Structure 1
């Protein structure tokens, strides 16, 4: 093995697809407010009782939670539109002299979705008001053909989902299927589930967090797996998503984090799981307590806890939201494996029921059998004897004269996680809105190996040690230039930093055993990966193919992103220009081929 050479992948500026440099989307109708990655919109037509258009009517749109007010006027065809609205519930009021005012209450606005609210005015005094609940009206989506599933905050926090993992909600969308394999936990401690959408590869799904990219460009997984408490709404689009969402061939998952409201709201939670509530597996777990731990089952202890708080900084103008989630997990695992017997380690293979031939005699088809299938002590490799000392002896009766399935491995994996999100929203004027968000996630994973000092299979998800730190930043503003022109801008940044080490990092067992060319520095330290093929296949040591430890591994990935859109309403048409520029940098030193060596027999 060579010394640790830095493998560097540098990605220059990329102008992203159809959503890239000055991508022009010409929409068929003005009611089609396309691809609002952060916001939603309300649009409709105001008519009188005869169905004639009512031009010049004032339409006042008020946020029920934040009490912010936006006013637009209907055009000559009675059409109105208010784009760039934060997801939530709104009240729509239409008024014009000579007509009774009409209020449509509890109008729900979702991210990347236009809510159509048509208003019919009755003749009368403007001071008279008619109130209609939006649920009683017909708020159908007729402006676009995307196929999407929307999850609101209440659904996300109340639906039972294993480990409260947001990415598993994708499996509730029609046309999705979980990939048959998953990335190693050492590089994906955030638990991003690889899911195929409509048969496409999982890496073809675009992940957006507050309108900025949230997908690792190398592995195709989520960088920040948002806490459920932090999500205001999520939209999963599986077909006919818009060109604004570049780098997506399978689907788009848009997540909008919560913003504060005029009322102070908070929450707290704790979820706990213990091994005392689990049943013993009779096939690979003994019915007697472990002599070390005193327990029949390996220790399992899961605690997930957190809190959130949101509210006003300045009523009707500035709002904040923040949340924290922590996990302290000890997860037990058991495996029924095979290790060499004490007699076999001394050269006595008579119990294995196969003939052992001396490779130094005869030719490949006429070799002399060792007497009694016992290899003389002076013929045993000293290097092999040194490595065998790292393996534990059988601890179970086993089968086939005790030569197979004679070792029960038990152990517990430790996983700690800390995540938090903070967001601020500002209503700077009736024309200008701004927001900013910072998310941080830290993970620590330490898993035992089946054979202790001898390495071998992982008992849960990893045989080794992994530390990951992820950062994500999003900020932006939208500015209403005039009643028909809106400019929005967003900046995004993320960092995905991974460090993985083998369970025996810093040791020199191969060198100590007399195997030349191994363990010459820290990054080639530890046991090599040893593979013994055949019907009694056996692995020990460390490596990606042994215990899912791609180690040592050092990766530092960053991406910067600038997104800007200019939307212009021209009569019954909408013209939209978009710019999406990204620069990605990835410095990765992997161990796909184990740096301590790989020996196969």
Structure 2
């Protein structure tokens, strides 16, 4: 009996047969696909062969992999070739135990499994003595990857937190990988301080970024990381370094499971907590009193501009239910008062806006007023002309008036357009909150919070 009603028309029976075949194909794919991938963008794998003292393979041996942080265990059995394999292992350190009937039990206390990698751990078992013994072996998995030809670099959490990162942005470390080239970071820039990375001659927008296996590419930024000035393009989500377990940048010959772009694949894994409570707290300080003056400002006889920055936060993680459920959370706040440069491509000689009269949100209209019909600063009131002169003065070159070398000897304020003045004269909608009477305050002050869980 075929399950197809023979009394139905031939065309209808063919349609039903095609539908059943399609359903069967999908069911087979659902069974086979998990076995095809040893690791994903957020996991790793472990494989190896178990043999006896003479080198003969041992089938039916039990191999147990236990995560040393969470105590969660997985078991595998060697096949007729003596081979075992653990797929989709969360990155971390594992304790591996080998057991087989008639052989001594062997335990390897520490094997590191990195994201997207499959280390090889082979083990030889000796015949058991009359009295059962357990042998602990200090060993490491192969450093050279023999299971695939992917070229890449793994950067662990210790490296991320120990290396100096002015912006506290792990993206700045991607240039450590072979074949990766990064632009020069501007430590005085705003936003998250991301850098665009080019690998093996590909463009920066050819890279693919994933966090815990989920794509985090900024499609509005056309794949770029650095925030584009004067547009709505943004970067990608950047967790603080203390929330990262590790990340890997794959630069070439990665497998077909990574698609979308032809550049590098960056796989970030965040921390997830364990059986022991852990926490940390930090404060990173940059202060104008501790900074040297910029070379160009110093050569022009100008004082150093303000750069005050506080980066603070903490992490905490631990068990909700031991060996079962865990939690991890982190927070980082950034407070910046920046008189150096307010954008990625800003010159380091940009001065703070001059303070006219009193300061704070109770300041009077010290920037003056310009009529909408004004075509020159001379048509503005006296307060606006004084503000324009103070604004233009730091931009004089070589003691000459004007913004550019060799310009005509005119008053500096004549280079300030009245439309720009009117923008600077816009009143703040909530002066008490912005701490300034104006929409654009005297100095750039930024706050940034990076929570994660």
Same fold judged by TM-score > 0.5? yes
After TM superposition, which residue ranges in structure 1, 4 or more long, deviate above 4 angstroms?
32-35, 179-182, 285-289, 387-390, 396-401, 450-454, 502-507
Map 1:46-195 onto structure 2 (within 5 A). Answer: 46-125=50-129, 127-135=132-140, 138=142, 140-179=144-183, 189-195=191-197
Offset at residue 140 of structure 1 (A): 3.5
- Relative to its length, the structure with more strand (as a share) is 1
Q: Distance in 1 between matches of 2:142 and 2:39?
A: 23
Residue 227, structure 1, aligned to residue 240, structure 2: yes
Contact 1:391 1:454 in 2 (8 A): no
8 A Cα contact 1:191 1:225, kept in partner: no
1:499-551 Cα distance to aligned partner (Å, 9 max, x none): xxx766689xxxxxxxxxxxxxxxxxxxxxxxxxxxxxxxxxxxxxxxxxxxx
Name the CA distance, whole Å, in 2 between partners of 1:400 and 1:312.
Answer: 65
Q: Which residue of 2 aligns with 1:395?
A: 393
Change (3 A) 1:105 1:223: same
Summarize deviations over 1:228-267 as a string: whole Å, max 9, x none.
0111110110011222222121110000110111000001
Q: Following the alignment from structure 2 to structure 1, what is the Cα–Cα distance between the partners of residues 39 and 192?
A: 28
Between the aligned partners of 2:171 and 2:394, the Cα distance in structure 1 is 40
Counterparts of 1:398 and 1:53, CA distance in 2: 81
- In the TM superposition, residue 217 of structure 1 has moved relative to its aligned partner by 1.0
Given the alignment, which residue of 304, 312, 317 partners 2:324? 317
Query: Unpaired runs of 5+ in structure 2?
Result: 1-25, 226-234, 341-347, 352-372, 406-414, 429-453
Quote the residue 1:40 is aligned against. Answer: 44
Matched residues, number: 344
| Equivalent residues of 1:33, 1:41 under 8 A apart | no
Label 1:270 to 1:233 Cα distance change in 2 as closer, same or farther (>3 A): same
- Over 3 Å counting, the alpha-carbon distance change for 1:76 and 1:398 in structure 2 is closer
The alignment status of 1:332 with 2:339, answered yes or no, reads: yes
Write the deviation string for residues 541-576 of structure 1: whole angstroms up to 9, x where unpaired: xxxxxxxxxxxxxxxxxxxxxxxxxxxxxxxxxxxx
Please tell me whether the aligned partners of residues 34 and 242 of structure 1 are also in contact (alpha carbons under 8 angstroms). Answer: no
Q: Retained in 1: the 8 A contact 2:167–2:193?
A: no
In the alignment, what sits opposite 1:297? Answer: 304
- Greater share of helix: 2
Q: 1:61 and 1:95 mapped to 2: Cα distance?
A: 12
- SS of the residue corresponding to residue 276 of structure 1 reads helix
Once residues 304 and 167 of structure 1 are traced to their aligned partners in structure 2, the CA distance between those partners, rounded to angstroms, is 17
Contact persistence 1:301–1:329 (CA under 8 A): yes
Give the Cα–Cα distance (whole angstroms) in 2 for the partners of residues 234 and 392 of structure 1. Answer: 51
SS, match of residue 238 in structure 1: strand
Q: Deviation of residue 141 (structure 1)?
A: 1.5
* Structure 1 residues 503 and 53, CA gap change in structure 2 (3 angstroms): farther
TM-score (norm 2): 0.67
Deviation at 1:398, TM superposition (A): 5.1
1:145-170 Cα offsets, whole Å, 9 max, x none, are: 00010011111111112222111111
Please list every run of 5 or more consecutive structure 1 residues that lacks an aligned counterpart in the other structure.
1-20, 290-295, 338-380, 408-449, 457-501, 508-601
Offset at 1:95? 0.8
| Contact 1:104-1:133 within 8 A present in 2 as well | yes
Name the structure 2 match of 1:435: none
What's the offset of the Cα at 1:122? 0.7
SS of equivalent residue, structure 1 residue 114: coil
Shift of 1:302: 0.8
Greater relative CO, 1 or 2 (CA 8 Å, sep 6+): 1
CA distance in 2, matches of 1:397, 1:242: 54
Aligned to 1:262: 275
* SS of residue in 2 equivalent to 1:395: helix
Measured after TM superposition, the shift of residue 281 of structure 1 is 3.5
Match of 2:292 among 279, 304, 308: 279
